Structure formats: structure tokens, C-alpha cells
Amino acid sequence: MADPDVKRLPIFQVDAFTDKPFAGNPAAVCLLEDVDLTDEHQQKIAAEMNLSETAYLRKLNSDDDFSSSSKFGLRWFTPTNEVALCGHATLASAATLFYMMKNPSPQLTFQTLSGDLFARREGDFISLDLPENKTQPLDREPYSQLLKIVVGDLTIQDLQVSHTAKKLVVRLQDGTRQTLESLRPDTVAMLAAHTQDIIRGVIVTVKGSVENGCVDNQGVMYDFISRYFAPWNGIAEDPVTGSAHTVLASYWAKELGKTEFYARQCSARGGDLKVRLREDGRVDVAGKATVVLQGMIRI
């Protein structure tokens, strides 16, 4: 006999920015149906799922339907806190609606803490319409200890910050992809080195070229590659980060004199992204996604 006090909610695990299971960046997506979860419950579920983000989709009106409506509320929780923007969990949310709920809408709108976000079908890709997060130069001295922990003795060519996204951009001197992939920062030491709330994540990036190994499996060159560390959000390293590319698009547009990029985030799982900086101050971040788990969560 079913327990009337137990609520059951549909939940999915989606690997974002990849077309293969067990790659890209995994996110949980929970459909709130007609259940109104407290913030405490949402945080507990995110801690239970223990992924970098758990997304919660909610209906905006009582007669809305996940299989046919085109506008929803969306929130994101890490295992430790709510965040204002998460690209890969937005991609995962759109994939859940498009692929699992068979939602036919060509474009979905999500009401979020970062304003309205949009997800469009573009062939095999899902393109996210996200806000640009501009960068500006930063004095290195206050962050010298943190930088030493993250990149060791490697030469830093440029250091910038996005105050809106609370992300540090560390551009290494043009080197090899292997050098970037070999970084093993002590994330506990990172937390100790920066205790203010100015920065919540560190992006390390390198300009791409054929010579430094920045090519995909077909030999196509990446314009830039990156890794992202966010221990302040409970994430030692994020596999593929859509929001980080709203910062990287702004930075590399100035450096490369172009607005369309093919990028790789070089975590152990890794993922490819198509990124476009638009004239209206928005960034299109496109990737593929695959659903790897479907079930019900009991609360």
C-alpha cells in the first residue's frame, strides 16, 4: 500500500555537452510536478545526488504541462548552495524536456535568478541563450597565493576577473594542452587562500592551436581550451561549465578578434562547446546531451 506521506518526483541524470554516456558534465533534473518543495528539501536532494548541480523545473501555472508548455521556472543547487546561473544543468533541463517529455517546442524559456534564459533546438545541438559576463584586468598581488596553488610555477600571461560571475580567468602563456590537463591544484588550500566572496571559481585557459594539441578527434582546432575549479561551491573541478564560457567568450573575443568559437573543457570527462558572443550582450552556448538515468525520488 502506498504511503500517502511519501512524495515521489520524476528525476533524471543527464550528461551535458557530450553525445556519449559517462562523458561531459552530469546534472540531475527534478520535475516538481504539482509538489512545492521547500528550499531545504531542494538543498537536501542536491546533496543526496552529489552532482555539481541539481536542477529543479517547476510549472508557472496550474494548467502548464512539461510535455507541451514552453516556459518554466528553473533553479540550480550544488551540494552546498544555490547558484544564480548554471549552463550545463540548463542544457540538461532542456534535454529532459525535449527528449524525455517529448516537448515539441522549438524554444524553451526558463525563469531564473539570472533572468529569462532560452534553450533552442539546433539540429543535434541544444543552444543556450545566456547573459555575457565581461572581464576586466585584476591586480595579481592579492591573489598570488591562490594562483600559486592553482598553476604552480607556470607563466601566467593574463589575469582577469568577472565580478558579475565571481570567476577568475587565468590565461597561461601559450603552451600545450597536456600542460593544462596536468594541473592538480589542492582545492582545500584554494579555499584557505581566498576566504572572501569575491571569487567563487577559477578558470584556467590556453589559446588553441594545432601545434599545441588543441584539436578534436577529427583534427578540428579548438579556439581555446579551459579547466574550471570551484571549491567555494563545493565543486573541486567541474567537468564542463556553460556559465564559465559566458566569461570565456567575452575574454577571448577581445583576444582573438572574433565572436564564434569552438572550445574544449579539458577535465577528465571533458566536453566540446560551440560558443557565440552576440552584439546584444548575450552568449549562445551550444552542446549535445544524453540522458543516462530515469527514476523517481522519494521524499
CB atoms within 10 A of CB 73: 14
Using CA atoms, how far apart are residues 158 and 40, in angstroms rounded to an integer? 40
Distance of CA 171 to the CA centre of its chain: 19
Q: Please report, for the chain, how many H helices and E strands are present, in that order.
A: 6, 18
CB atoms within 10 A of CB 46: 26
Collapse the DSSP code of 26 into the 3-class scheme (helix H, G, I; strand E, B; otherwise coil) and give the result: strand
Contacts of 289 (CB under 8 A, 6+ apart): 14, 15, 16, 17, 18, 19, 24, 91, 92, 94, 95, 99, 126
Distance of CA 273 to the CA centre of its chain: 11
Contacts of 290 (CB under 8 A, 6+ apart): 14, 15, 18, 19, 20, 21, 24, 95
DSSP-derived secondary structure letter, 173: P
Catalytic residue among 40, 53, 132, 255: 53
Using CA atoms, how far apart are residues 34 and 61, in angstroms rounded to an integer? 10
Instruction: Indicate if 40 belongs to the active site.
Output: no
Q: Which residues are catalytic?
A: 53
